[in-house]
Structure 1
């Protein structure tokens, strides 16, 4: 928006935050849309795999629930939404991020004028302590007749405040985090098992995760999982080269610079950080830490966090066609 439009936008924001009404007709229409989207999502094998992995890892923790049931959505009332809004949408602990050509004093005055009447008496709710279930045998979820298998692996990772995070991010990047990674070179470029395998480090309030995913043809499910696990073992046990480390470092630093080069990108990044309880200067500190990571650092981090024995594995696919392949690699639970 243009700087001159700030007061008008703040007025709309103030109405949404402090005077939301949730009209019955709009709630009914949105419930129908959400229920339809949930039904569609539950038919997607990637969603089935993600849900199975979360259930396997988190058990009774709320993070195990990836999508609500459509019956739960149908039972929501406008009154329940208004109550939830009063109790959870609160000024205390909220942060407004403004990025652009604005005068700080004038912007502060405009925010105070628009949001000064926003009040709330509820209390913030933190996610319960996250305790992962012990790693068990590979879980095979049957999708009869499926032409693809969805491989998902996941385990704990260091949080944003953990000094090992920069090394783990770099290890993940070399393993499967971008197009020049080892996993892509192996099961996409060399063997043609999949189009877009990837690994990532994801952060939630109660805990962080190292995740691996690949969608492969049913006939190569076992070989693809074998190579995926092989690359995990290799990065945990065999030091990467300086060239690999430096390429991954340049990629992370470069993509972060691009992501924060626009007003919208910088605002989104800062909002995510502050919403996680981190100061705005965390980003610069993290970039400096990434630049300082050594080969010894990343090797130790990979051995601690990326080794296959520490990861929960789920495969969603045609069980009749894949069970024998997977059983050759270890115990399988169905």
Structure 2
């Protein structure tokens, strides 16, 4: 009996082993099912007598109605020297009209369970209002009012301006933002597509109400607009309300600047934006691509999906799954009225920068050389088709899709066949567009990171340009911030400059008194405007001649310390204490030379040329202007003609929150005598014309002794 049982178990075991290969074989996935029939939701359109194109999309699945008005004017119409006009104009549309305040607009929309948004892109500006069905009448009324009668109130402009600047200051030191914005400028150069559509830290402060009014007056006309009405509404009702609320909008002359095609990308350009404190490198590759109506549009979309559309795409699998070089990689096709950009984006550890870049270039060569597999092709096409169909589920997204298509000159037939055009792309077409548009020798490449760690190796791939991130200016086609204007110093101007500086010293307390200064201690209350709001704290400053400076700022939640100690420097924050990087030491030394007393003793230092520029009005009073020049560093000291006391200092410095270069002014006031020497007890600092900081001094000590320990790194 036992033997029989043993034989039975043995037999079962052998049967199990015999079955293992069959069980181990991976079952092939079922073949893909043919796509289900697709039909784009139908829409009807009509043009009002004033030229407004009205489109109605009946979508009764939810009791929601979405109104979206598009004006055919966006960032491409920004004045070349004032990027951000289109974005700021659109952003202010719902911030008050001639009869409604921003608060009244927001409360009215909220009371009917609605949402309102405004914005702009390269070719269009828009206002979108979505409401529950009972609120349709109010939605039409509000939309018509804010599009036709924006107030552009000064207080709202300033509020929006400060919000924009706060965001830009944060982004200006973000390597990802720097790389993404720089690649567009490198690709397009001086073409309108090259500037940041949201504006820059240099341009936003210069925008005035007149700029916004002029932009609106030139381009916001019914004959330059399209209104889409989607949702739980009949076509007859929608057209009637469009006529009621927009029929009286007067037709106008559209004054839009013609936009020519950008020059195609020829050759390889490598730009390194040096950010010494970066621990990883942001990598961007790109070139001029295609216009929205180009017949290669669908094949290029599929190619981009094959390259980098998430897990399973080529660059994703190569860089992340196989090599572990990054957490993400993407490719983007930005097709516009004129040819837009093709870009590949990723990031990696500093030491892996060149390896990652070489792998991307190699993959671009391979995809042009070898045809994509059928599995890759089907996955990419199904992904794109699925995304398109998912976007058809709400009235808001339906209105957006239809408006985008119509604004590019497409009709219903195009949208109805959109999915099938994607699904009909062949492997041969993908290979053809890869050869045509992704030639590795015709690419712009931008790397943002610690350039000294990889510059030499990157140079093997082509000629390299290098810019320190604080010197980047996105308003300029070459990305290089313009150096401060320098007026040539003639012997006569230098002699007159010395005379005026001598007069200033006498007015302050005399040359001997200033020359005897060995150390200074200053205590006061400082108020600083930051991207996160306004903060007040105590500031202590200690100066020891000739090259030591310690600044402490005590805020309610933290204490910040910054020290220059001869050839070295350090900073202390709640995150710890660390050395000042070499590139920032230059700024620390410049900060020491800009202090009040060192300015008056600047002629004691070699290499500084002081000259007379003429006279100007400062705060309503005449002043003589002295230019201080040391190499590329230039500043100007304004001396009141009557008192011979300094009243203003202007210079180009570094924004402490973004790290970018900016124009600063310091206004001196409330002079008081301390130990026989006059000193301004109030200093207001302006950045780009706006109040940035204010220091109210409570105590000044001269030659009282400053402990050596204050300058030593703990």
Instruction: Tell which deviates more after alignment, 63-72 or 98-107.
Output: 63-72
Give yes or no for the alignment of 1:64 onto 2:161. no
- On the 8 A contact 1:140/1:319 being kept in 2, the answer is yes
How far apart, in 2, do the equivalents of 1:44 and 1:94 lie? 36
Give yes or no for the alignment of 1:269 onto 2:401. yes
- On the 8 A contact 1:221/1:325 being kept in 2, the answer is no
Instruction: Tell which deviates more after alignment, 74-83 or 286-295.
Output: 74-83
Q: Which of 311, 325, 336 is matched with 1:179 structurally?
A: 311
Q: Which residue does 1:333 correspond to in 2?
A: 465
Q: Which of 99, 114, 132 is matched with 2:230 structurally?
A: 99
- On the 8 A contact 1:17/1:118 being kept in 2, the answer is no
Hey, which of these two has a bigger chunk of strand by percent? Answer: 2
Instruction: Tell which deviates more after alignment, 6-15 or 276-285.
Output: 276-285
> Offset of 1:181 from its aligned partner?
0.5
- On the 8 A contact 1:151/1:316 being kept in 2, the answer is yes
Q: Trace 1:273-292 onto structure 2 (pairs within 5 A).
A: 273-292=405-424
Higher relative contact order (CA 8 A, sep 6+): 1
Structure 1: gaps (5+ residues) = none
**Deviation string, structure 1 residues 72-131 (Cα, Å, up to 9, x no partner):** 322333343223212111111311111112110111001110111222534152433322
Q: Which residue does 2:152 correspond to in 1?
A: 22
Q: Which of 281, 294, 319 is matched with 1:162 structurally?
A: 294
Residue 264 and residue 133 in structure 1: after superposition, are their counterparts in 2 closer, same or farther (change >3 A)? same
Q: Which residue does 1:76 correspond to in 2?
A: 207
Q: Which residue does 1:196 correspond to in 2?
A: 328
SS of the residue corresponding to residue 204 of structure 1 reads coil
Q: Which residue does 1:117 correspond to in 2?
A: 248
How far apart, in 2, do the equivalents of 1:311 and 1:50 lie? 15
**Deviation string, structure 1 residues 116-149 (Cα, Å, up to 9, x no partner):** 1222534152433322453333221211121111
> Offset of 1:239 from its aligned partner?
0.8
Q: Please, what is the CA RMSD of the aligned residues?
A: 1.8
Q: Which residue does 2:174 correspond to in 1?
A: 44
Instruction: Tell which deviates more after alignment, 3-12 or 101-110.
Output: 3-12
How far apart, in 1, do the equivalents of 2:431 and 2:212 lie? 49
**Deviation string, structure 1 residues 45-93 (Cα, Å, up to 9, x no partner):** 1221123222222121122211533343223333432232121111113
How far apart, in 2, do the equivalents of 1:243 and 1:250 lie? 11
Q: Which residue does 2:369 correspond to in 1?
A: 237
Residue 129 and residue 300 in structure 1: after superposition, are their counterparts in 2 closer, same or farther (change >3 A)? closer
Instruction: Tell which deviates more after alignment, 278-287 or 310-319.
Output: 278-287
Q: Which of 381, 386, 390 is matched with 1:249 structurally?
A: 381
> Offset of 1:188 from its aligned partner?
0.8
How far apart, in 1, do the equivalents of 2:393 and 2:299 lie? 24
SS of the residue corresponding to residue 325 of structure 2 reads coil
SS of the residue corresponding to residue 149 of structure 1 reads strand
Structure showing greater radius of gyration is 2
- On the 8 A contact 2:184/2:341 being kept in 1, the answer is no
Q: Which residue does 2:184 correspond to in 1?
A: 54
Q: Which residue does 1:129 correspond to in 2?
A: 261
TM-score by length of 1: 0.94
How far apart, in 2, do the equivalents of 1:98 and 1:36 lie? 35
How far apart, in 2, do the equivalents of 1:85 and 1:127 lie? 19
Structure 2: gaps (5+ residues) = 1-130, 467-714
How far apart, in 1, do the equivalents of 2:230 and 2:399 lie? 6
How far apart, in 2, do the equivalents of 1:42 and 1:275 lie? 33
**Deviation string, structure 1 residues 18-45 (Cα, Å, up to 9, x no partner):** 1111112111111111122222222211
- On the 8 A contact 2:319/2:326 being kept in 1, the answer is yes
How far apart, in 2, do the equivalents of 1:292 and 1:133 lie? 29
How far apart, in 1, do the equivalents of 2:274 and 2:137 lie? 55
Q: Which of 32, 38, 42 is matched with 2:162 structurally?
A: 32
TM-score by length of 2: 0.45
How far apart, in 1, do the equivalents of 2:210 and 2:458 lie? 50
